[in-house]
Structure 1
């Protein structure tokens, strides 16, 4: 072989080696990226339960869903909310306000509730990564629908919003709720609400006025879960794929204000 052909051959071989190394490098980068996106904590989901306040519409507390993606520095809280109630009490009582799913940065939510002296407890939702992704997509879809739903605490409140979102996100699989407590089977929604409101005559009067006679009507057992504490009670007994549906409680914000019993809860903030 001539020197010229030898040089060309060596150059060609070196080019092939470089191309091969570059391809290997790109493939490794893709694998590394895939490994990141497939890490089990790529997306996390949890339920946030906020302690009650002396304001009418939050006298039994509040429930919301927290979604996080640490890889992209995303951390949002999703919850059903009504339009502002302040100065619109009669509209609120008549049920003429609209409501819808909202998304708010978690940092802001924690700060707002802390400023009110209300505590927040977090419970991790133990469903597979793909189901958590589906849950986030579901919640984003609800946000895109806007504030177009008539206000309806009994049928579309924050608690049922969380419960139904998790239930629908795991489809076609199902959550096992086990044996329902007797109170959910035998009591009406009015009685269950009354048990959780406590000794607040003003709150009882207005909430029962809003609920109307529908609160006494029969409904599916799951639809009776309308109070945050009842939600946690139910989910702590639930399983998915044989594992506990939610984790142990973690206190995110310490409660600094206690609501005195026997008072007349403030109608609005």
Structure 2
């Protein structure tokens, strides 16, 4: 396919999957249960953080965290006690993300929200930046702190050449604005044209099948390679093609 044919093909696939029907079987349903901006941010970040493995299992684990927080995430973050954190630490949450990790996130969220109204302020891009590589690192420093902790591994680093798939998915949810009902678009200070595709095994394999990328690894360098292509297809909304790649992976029509 030439570039125009590729665009038409992927636009069609993105349009099919970028609909409210997508929500019901996806972890994005978790933040969609809330209206308060901070509730959406907290639950979206938590759901994205544990987004590996079976989607039903991810949703079930996210619901476990909601139950622990009394279905009031922001209120719990701001007003939790040490006793609450001790209770959480013994819980099994999702695979290697355990109660200790969850309690650490709660403490760090509280520190952030004491000084900021929104997590968006920690992800703002500087004028010369055209992707989230550096802003993710700034966020990691602010959110995780300088003291080493086992939980740091759950917030991946593009500086270490990680694709940072789960953070990129969270950013897509928060930043994309298209009124289709899936992504929230509640962050107004960040332009969606700087978003990248959340790259994992599935989107990577589909991208290679379509010859969008040539690199074999699913790492940050490959994210940048994919950026070059999808931003040619739609410079204003490149991340919409995440829906197309996901849809092609689900339908298996290319295999």
Say whether the fold is shared (TM-score over 0.5).
Answer: no
Which structure is larger by alpha-carbon Rg, 1 or 2?
A: 1
Higher strand share: 1
Choose between structure 1 and 2 for higher RCO, CA contacts under 8 A separated by at least 6 residues: 1
Write 1 or 2 for the structure with the bigger share of helix. 2
